Structure 1
Amino acid sequence: MVKESLTVLKVTGLEKSFELRKILDNVHFDIKMGERIGLVGYNGTGKTTLANLIMGRLKPDSGTVEYIKECKIGYLTQSIDYEFTNFVEAIVDKKDLLEHTSQLGLEKVYDWEEHRLQHLSGGEKLKLALSLIWSSKPDFLILDEPTNHLDFKGIKWLISELKKFPGPILIISHDRYFLDETINRIFEIENKKLHFYNANYSEFRKEKQKRTEDQLHKYTVQKKKQEEIEGQMEQLKSWSDKAHQNSTKQGRDFGTKEYHRVKAKKRDSQVKSKMKRLQNELNKNKIDKPSEEAVVSFQFEADGKRGKRIIEAKDLTKTYDNRNLFQDAKFYINYGERIGLLGENGCGKTTLLRMVLGQEPPTKGTLWKSQSIKIAYLSQDVHDLQEETTAIDALGFTEREDIFRARTLLANLGLKEELITKPIGTLSLGERTRVKLVDMLMKEYDVLILDEPTNHLDLPSREQLENTLNEFTGTIITVSHDYYFLNKICDKLLVFENHKIKRMEMKPEEYLNKEKSNPNVSIKEELMVIENRLATVLGELSLLDQKHPNYFVLDREFKELIAQKKRLTNQL
Structure 2
Amino acid sequence: MTLLKCRQIGKNFGNRQVLNGVNIEINSGDRIGLVGLNGSGKSTLARIITGDLTPDQGAVTVYKKNLKIGYLEQDASYTTGPFQQNRSPELEENGVFLATAGRIGLKIPAGEEGMAKTALSSGERTKLAFSRVWASRPDLLILDEPTNHLDFQGAEQLVAELQKFNGAVLIISHDRWFLDQTVRKIYELTGGVAALYPGNYSYYREEKKRRFASQLHRYRNERKEEEMIRAEINRLREWSAKAHRESTKKSDIRMGAKEYYRVKAKKLDRQVKSKIKRLERLKETATPKPQAEPKLEFAFVAANRGRRIIEADGLSKAFGEKVLFQESRFFIQRGEKVGLIGPNGCGKTTLLRLFLGEEKPDTGNLWVSPTLNPGYLRQDLDDLDPSKSALEIMNLTAKEKLTAARTLLAHMGIDAGMATQPTGCLSLGERVRIKLVQLLLDEKDLLLLDEPTNHLDLPGRERLEEALSSYTGTIILVSHDRYLLEAVCNKLLVFSRAHAGAPVTVRRLEDGFAGYARREEEPAGRPAEPAPEEAEEMVIENRIAFILGQLNRLTPGDPEYLRLDEEFQELVKKKRELSRNRPQ
> Smaller-chain TM-score range?
0.7 to 0.9
Q: What is the match of residue 519 of structure 1? A: 527
Question: 2:486 aligns to what?
Answer: 487
SS in 2 for 1:454: coil
Match of 2:69 among 73, 96, 104: 73
Question: What letter matches 1:448 in structure 2?
Answer: L
Superposed, which structure 2 residues align to 1:145-224 within 5 Å? 145-224=145-224
What is the alpha-carbon distance in structure 2 between the residues aligned to residue 448 and residue 401 of structure 1?
24
Q: Deviations over 1:187-211 (max 9, x none)?
A: 0111211111111110111111111
Q: Would you say the 8 A contact 1:447–1:475 is kept in 2?
A: yes
Deviation at 1:95, TM superposition (A): 3.7
Moved more, 21-30 or 106-115: 106-115
1:379 aligns with 2:378: yes
Q: Secondary structure at the match of 1:415?
A: coil
Q: Alpha-carbon deviation of 1:492?
A: 1.8
In the other structure, the counterpart of 1:568 is none
**Contact 1:546/1:552, CA 8 A, preserved across alignment:** no
Letter in 2 for 1:481: H
Single out whichever of 467-476 and 272-281 deviates more from structure 2: 272-281
Counterpart of 1:344?
Answer: 343
- Superposition deviation, residue 424 in structure 1: 2.0
Deviation, structure 1 residue 425: 2.4
Counterpart CA distance in 2 for 1:248 and 1:399 is: 72
- Secondary structure (helix, strand or coil) at the match of 1:89 reads helix
Counterparts of 2:238 and 2:562, CA distance in 1: 80
Q: Is 2:534 aligned against 1:507?
A: no
Distance (whole Å) between structure 2 residues aligned to residue 51 and residue 445 of structure 1: 39
The Cα offsets for residues 277-332 of structure 1, whole Å up to 9 and x where unpaired, read as: 2112321x31111111211111011111x222211112211111331111121111
Change (3 A) 1:422 1:523: farther
How much does 1:25 deviate?
A: 1.5
| Alignment-mate amino acid for residue 67 of structure 2 | C
SS in 2 for 1:519: coil
Check conservation: 1:505, 1:526, Cα contact below 8 A: no
Q: Deviations over 1:400-433 (max 9, x none)?
A: 2112111111111122334333332222111111
The RMSD of aligned alpha carbons is 3.2
Offset at 1:269?
A: 5.6
Is 1:91–1:97's contact at 8 Å kept on the other side of the alignment? Answer: yes
Contact residue 23 and residue 193 of structure 2 kept, 8 A: no
C-alpha change, 1:246 and 1:555, in structure 2 (3 Å) is: farther
Distance 2:273 2:435 in 1: 56
Alignment-mate amino acid for residue 394 of structure 2: L
- Cα distance in 2 for residues equivalent to 1:193 and 1:19: 18
Q: TM-score, normalised by structure 1?
A: 0.87
Task: For 2:220 and 2:572, locate their aligned partners in 1 and report how far apart those are by CA, in whole Å.
Answer: 64
CA contact (8 A) 2:105 2:157 kept: no
Aligned to 1:567: none
Identical aligned pairs, as a percentage?
A: 45
1:331-385 deviation line (CA, Å, top 9, x unaligned): 1111111211111101111111111111111122221101111111111113542
- Could you say which residue in structure 2 is the equivalent of 1:58? 53
- 8 Å CA contact 2:82–2:115 kept in 1: the answer is no
> For residue 371 of structure 1, what is the amino acid of its counterpart?
P
**Deviation larger for 364-373 or 152-161:** 364-373
Distance 1:28 1:455 in 2: 27
d(CA) in 1 for partners of 2:345 and 2:533? 29
Instruction: Specify every segment of 5 or more residues in structure 1 that has no aligned partner in the other structure, as ranges.
Output: 1-5, 538-544, 564-572
Q: 5 Å matches for 1:321-332?
A: 321-332=320-331
Match in the other structure for 2:501: none
Distance 1:338 1:529, change over 3 A: farther
For 2:562 and 2:312, the matched residues in 1 are separated by 20
| Conserved? CA contact 1:415–1:431, under 8 Å | yes
Whether the 8 Å CA contact 1:530–1:561 is kept in 2: the answer is no
TM-score, reference length from structure 2? 0.85
Give the letter aligned to residue 140 of structure 1: L
The residue type equivalent to 1:274 in the other structure is K
Contact 1:244–1:260, Cα closer than 8 Å, also in 2: yes
Deviations 1:45-100 (A, max 9, x none): 11111111111111100111122112222211112243345424325873433333
Tell me how far apart the structure 2 counterparts of residues 472 and 216 of structure 1 sit (CA, whole Å). Answer: 33
Indicate the SS of the match to 2:37. Answer: coil
1:87 — aligned with what? 83
Tell me: CA distance 1:191–1:524, structure 2 relative to 1, closer, same or farther (3 Å). Answer: farther
